[in-house]
Amino acid sequence: MTETVHYLLVVYVAQHQYPDRVPSGHVAAVTDRAPATTTEALQRLEDRGVVDYEPYDGVTLTPAGEEWAADAYETFVVLSRFFADVLEIENNEREALEAVGPVSPDVSERIASMLLSEVTVDPTDPPSILTRGSNASRPGSGDSGFDGS
């Protein structure tokens, strides 16, 4: 589930940079995955009805994918802030990316309202973990003990 959400979040934030279709090469670079692995993942997401993927043309979110990604992005932002501000976790964005899938929007809203001051959710100004590839920031990269599944 975590990698599914990671792919969706990358497409969600990249669609502001690529208004027609997000190139699959961009998704592969940001997720730090091989192009073939990215293609397979995007095809699986298309089978689930959350993206429209055209080989060589790129990917867009469907309305269902847009809704899911928007909720996931908001949850990611809240968790990232919570991990940084409350728990003082150094790698807050990577940890938030790992946790975003299983945390519901309702839980995210409760965390934000109870424990955090104002939380700004702006997909046009995303954190670097969702805009550039980095083996050190990728879930499952080996430095955090996660297996990336």
Mean pLDDT of the chain: 83
Per the domain annotation, does 81 fall within a domain?
Answer: yes
Per the domain annotation, does 48 fall within a domain?
Answer: yes
Q: Are residues 60 and 9 in the same domain?
A: yes
pLDDT digits (tens, 9 = 90+) for 57-109: 999 999 999 999 999 999 998 899 889 888 899 898 989 988 998 888 889 88
DSSP of 64-127: HHHHHHHHHHHHHHHHHHIIIIIS--TTHHHHHHHHTTTS-HHHHHHHHHHH-S-----TTS--
Per the domain annotation, does 129 fall within a domain?
Answer: no
Per the domain annotation, does 45 fall within a domain?
Answer: yes
Cβ 41 vs Cβ 142: under 8 Å:
no
Q: Distance between CA atoms of 147 and 149, rounded to whole angstroms?
A: 6
Q: Distance between CA atoms of 139 and 96, rounded to whole angstroms?
A: 10
For residue 76, the model assigns a pLDDT of: 92
Range of the domain at 38: 2-65
pLDDT at 11 over 60: yes
Q: Are residues 58 and 97 in the same domain?
A: no
Per the domain annotation, does 60 fall within a domain?
Answer: yes
Q: Are residues 55 and 79 in the same domain?
A: no
Q: Are residues 21 and 50 in the same domain?
A: yes
Please state the domain count of the chain: 2
Q: Distance between CA atoms of 88 and 51, rounded to whole angstroms?
A: 35
pLDDT at 144 over 90: no
pTM over 0.75: yes
**In this structure, are strands 51-54 and 58-61 parallel, antiparallel, or unpaired?**
antiparallel
For residue 121, the model assigns a pLDDT of: 65
pLDDT at 145 over 60: no
pLDDT at 27 over 90: yes
- pLDDT-derived band at 42, boundaries 50, 70, 90: very high
Per the domain annotation, does 46 fall within a domain?
Answer: yes
Q: Which residues contact 54 (CB under 8 A, 6 or more apart)?
A: 21
